[in-house]
Amino acid sequence: MAGCASDHSGWDEDHQAMQEHASSATGHFVLEIVGAKDIPARPGVTGEIMTNPYILAKLFTSDDRGGKSLAPAVRSKLRPLTREPTFLSVRDLMVDYQDSARDEDVMDIVLMDHEPVGVVSHASDGGDSPTKSLFVGIGDAEIGRGSIEVREIAYGANAEPTAVEIDCAKSGRVGGPECLVFVRVLPFVPSAIKTFFVIRHGQSVWNAAQDGGRVHEMVDTDHPLSRLGIQQCLEFSMAWKQAQEDLEVAAGKGANSTGAITEDGVETPAVGDGASSKDWGLIKDFLNADVAISSPLIRAVQTAWIGLKGHPTLKRHGLVLSTAIREHKRTVGGLDTMSNATGDEIAARAEECLVKELGEEARGLTPVVNPGDTTGRWWTPAHRAETDLEYRARFHETWCDLKYRDFNSAILTGHSLFFRELFKRYLAQDFVMSNPSLAEELQKKKLMNAGCVAITVDFSRDGVDPVIINAEPMFGCTLVK
């Protein structure tokens, strides 16, 4: 489906309203909009599913207290062309959750359909050109709505989400008169400062073809790692494991330890060991990261598997996929930012590509992969570039996940353009002033393939975008043109 509107029309207004609300916020009410099922379909010109669902959630006082609005509506991410979307959108309503539950406040859940105005393209029965049918959209439409008392919503990150019945009888769509939206409340764990480790993927087949001028090898979607890219990931793995070994020596587990014991029992290397106590702290944080997250593009998934093989976090928790940190699609086409794999298919395809390159010994060596929000089409379609509004919404989605989920550190495996834009938009001015050369490189160059930078992020200001207050290349990472 081709449309003139972006996938996030209306997001900007909602975001601004919540920023204004933050100045009068009374606490935190962290809602996770998990997903939906059995959404009635809007049939397209030739009968295909045309439903592009998203959720609006808004908090009101009970009818006994006047049914007054307590906070601006929050909006989930949009999931194109699906009747059973996974949202996993985390939003803070910035009111006190305990007060809201006690006062029997009510959450209104509105199921919406994004219906752009544009042209529907269909594959032709013959010839090279697709047939096209005019499709005139009427703007975003309400599919149905429901409500639930706050005290009835499941509480806890691991709690089974509560199903909210949505009345869709008036929608006139194909399907039942009701569908379900799933929500839960996440505990708010205050943590103003968090540390993350961003890793660029190793060289991909597309990168190698571009470097060699082999254009015919670039005409495909979602390229895996090249043989050189695999080697770069192995070298990154060796680098952090060597740092781990050096840290163990510094902690007294090795024979040549001569440093001093710190308060947490980890020994700081003596002067001359080649690393400051700050460096060792970052290495400890890297080894103790709470979660490993990857873009769902194959080259990033493979980089996480190979580069982090044996990492304690992958051993404990596996790898989580997040569509928000995929690569930026800057142009029409942009095939390497697109895929044809969703959900569990992504890990299966990533493994098959490794087996093709390395042989059968690569099979079965991958960690558990949580597909996250990758069910349904998660990439920007070929006929258009990603808009700035969509890009901004993805950064917002990323920050909401990193701020409100219960972890203090994470490893993010992703892409050069996404990470460069992250530094352009969110590096703190104090850091830029005190580290002008590094800041300029981070904002104008790219991380080397399989390169890692540690970032420290300040989330202390509610309703305001966070800032990166420190950035430190690690394990020999450099910036390249």
CA nearest to 443, candidates 416, 415, 408, 414: 416
The fold of the 2-186 domain, in CATH, is Immunoglobulin-like (2.60.40)
User: 171, 43 in Cβ contact below 8 A?
Assistant: no
State the span(s) of the chain assigned CATH 3.40.50.1240.
193-480
Question: In the predicted model, is pLDDT for residue 116 greater than 70?
Answer: no
Rounded Cα–Cα distance for residues 321 and 374 (Å): 7
Other beta carbons within 10 angstroms of residue 141's beta carbon come to 14
Q: What is the pLDDT of residues 126-178, one digit of tens each?
A: 433 333 333 334 578 899 999 999 999 999 999 999 999 999 988 878 777 88
Quote the tokens at residue 65: 């207290």
CA nearest to 302, candidates 360, 366, 359, 363: 366
Query: What percent of the chain has a predicted confidence (pLDDT) above 90?
Result: 64
What b/e sequence results for 256-270 when a residue is b if at least 16 CB atoms lie within 10 Å of its CB, and e otherwise? ebebeeeeeebbbbe
**Which CATH superfamily groups domain 193-480?**
Phosphoglycerate mutase-like (3.40.50.1240)
Single pTM value for the model: 0.86
Compute the radius of gyration of the chain from its Cα atoms: 24
pLDDT at 258: 39
User: 450, 201 in Cβ contact below 8 A?
Assistant: yes
Range 42-63 average pLDDT: 82
State the span(s) of the chain assigned CATH 2.60.40.150.
2-186
User: What value does the mean pLDDT of the chain take?
Assistant: 85
168 versus 17: the higher-pLDDT residue is: 168
Q: What is the pLDDT of residues 186-239, one digit of tens each?
A: 999 888 999 999 999 999 987 776 766 565 555 678 999 999 999 999 999 999
User: 391, 415 in Cβ contact below 8 A?
Assistant: no
